[in-house]
Amino acid sequence: MHGNIHQVACMGCGDISLRSDLQKKLHIVNTDLLDAVTQEKERIRPDADYNLEEGMVDSVTLVRCEKCGGGLRPHVVLFGENVPAPRVADCFEAVRSCSVLLCMGTSLKVYSAYRFVKFAKENGTPVVIINNGPTRGDGDADIKVETESVAQFVTCLLYTSDAADEEDSVDLGGRRIIKKKNINKTEAGMYVLSILVKQRETHNTSI
């Protein structure tokens, strides 16, 4: 909904391109600057931003849109900006038609995301939240899962260990796991929900 940093958008014509392609071009035209900043890793901040010395910003050679020459920016909705209305409408339609609303790795503190949890509840759609820590939607969740690694937890749910010789397998924490075959998004959501419900019933407690 808020976009992703792997894409770049032109502020002129709206063309969407890959961040990785832009990064390569920036390296080519800023070779000397790149060499300088990589030697001072202590300037890299926890959020991955780089604390440039005064005056270094002016020395950066920008890469512009190949189609119109416009400026480029991350293809994300930044704080203070509004999510495009068509995208919001698409999200509401997706929630309206889904079997389970699965919220993973999000605090839901921003209302632009939390509103879909409320919308799901109003429509009688089960809400499952998987996160490391509390979220704004905990009180609305039918099931809340606390886990240190959302990715590993979901991987365990969508994989099974009953066919260790199959090709589509990976090793997870020393356990051979096999990806469930031909599972679409709706089936995946229902599968996760069913497993979580079974776990809760087995242990007679909340997860």
From the candidates 2, 6, 27, 75, give the one annotated as an active-site residue.
Answer: 2
Strand duo 159-160 + 175-179: pairing: antiparallel
Tokens 């419900």 correspond to what residue?
197
**DSSP letters along 101-129, please?**
EEEES----SHHHHHHHHHHHHTT--EEE
Report in angstroms the alpha-carbon separations of 2 from 81, 82, 103, 152: 10, 9, 14, 24
Edge-first strand order for the sheet with 175-179 is: 159-160, 175-179, 169-172
CB 2 within 8 Å of CB 84: no
Q: Coil, helix or strand for 56?
A: coil
27 is catalytic: no
How many CB atoms are located within 10 Å of the residue 54 CB?
Answer: 6
**E strands within 14-166?**
16-18, 72-76, 101-104, 127-131, 143-146, 159-160
Catalytic residues: 2
